[in-house]
Homo-oligomer: A and B are copies of this chain.
């Protein structure tokens, strides 16, 4: 989303802002498709659209035409893994480039060997052996496209490599994962009765499951995969920070990823992208959005416990509007990190600071700067004209929801839809479900393009048509002016894909 990091309060009188007016951060693109950092470092990855679109330089240029806003889809003879449908469109002139990115890959999970232990981030498919894993990622950049591009190139590989480390546990899918592993990765069972198990051949690998401790939680394989995904997001975020020393990596991004592994679909979301399952035209939400409003209490709690992060400029208390100096001593509605309702408090000097969370709906901001509270990157993001970093308030950890593919029957019109917020801002879950269901039910079930055509149809509806009064939907409402990226993924499976 383009306007996520911007002058949230541009309509406010200057004197009410902690540091005067704000501006777009880190929008230092040269415009020719090669973003270049403020320190003239080389880009970590060059700007581009997803490889699977196979754009020529001319088409790449055409994709950024703000006047025409072409909806890009897969070429007629191209195929994505799992028959996935894809479409994208650029914003209405808000940034030079499309800051969204998408990724769709089939990978193979296997134990890291000596050869690929350090270099496997570079390769996608290896020799085609291992546990198959399908992956879809949608990244919505802000303040530049660098973080989104890097995440779209690497996050799936991080997840695959971390799954590789527990590959031997995944293969043994009938038993719960061991609580403790020895250094060589085999289960380790400490023995409180017999001493340190001197009588086994490998003293590091006691597997006598009858020796149990007093309390021992059973952890499912599913929650182990969830943990892999959660920690891989953190690792991705660390990697962005680390490589910023050597490369230009601009901004941050929301990250939404879906992983199909061993009959289960894991949907991981950090940000305000959104994913729903449509089954029999019914909607099953697979994500929650993370915004200043939905995460208000978490952020206020941090500001309350660590007031130094607020830099003496912000207050963790929320007020329904800014307070004027003349209102000192009067009573104003407020809520703190413990409250859901509102109460009155007597206004003191400290309450004149700018609220940590301010604004409503799409205009809500953290420290008057950013409108989304989870994602990757943003390590350098500061409050305008200050030394206050936003990053401590942001989380890179996704919420992961699991859907059991094997336990449900799916028809050809049952799909997972993943989309950046540009889609959902103008089209409700219900409207998306109705549009996709209607489109697919009119479409030949054997058409290999059907899910891509449904994605394209969805984007046409949400972008609208350029009229004198801007991009308009058929019902004359304003269409989305944002970048939009969408996947439509058939739940019935990859079909004849090998």
Contacts and interface: CB of A to CB of B under 8 A. Distances in A.
Which of A217, A324, A395 has the most chain B CB within a 10 Å cutoff? A217
Interface string A300-332: 011001100000000000011110101101111
Contact-size category for A = 35 or more
A322 to B, nearest CB: 6
A322 B11 CA distance: 56
A228 B341 contact: yes
Interface stretch (A33-41, A103-111, A132-140, A181-189): A181-189
B339 A180 contact: no
A230 B340 CA distance: 8
A182 B330 contact: yes
Contacts of A218: 320
Contacts of A177: 333, 342
A344 B166 contact: yes
Contacts of A219: 320, 333, 342
Contact of A330 (B11, B183, B332, B342): B183
A320 B192 contact: no
A360 B159 CA distance: 29
Given A215-B363, A305-B306, A360-B217, A397 B338 contact: yes
B213 A340 contact: no
Interface in A252-281: none
Contact of A179 (B214, B216, B320): B320
A358 interface: yes
A360 B226 CA distance: 20
A295 to B, nearest CB: 12
Across chains A and B, which 8 residue pairs bring their CB atoms closest together, nearest first?
Answer: A226-B341, A227-B341, A227-B343, A217-B320, A338-B397, A181-B331, A216-B321, A223-B341
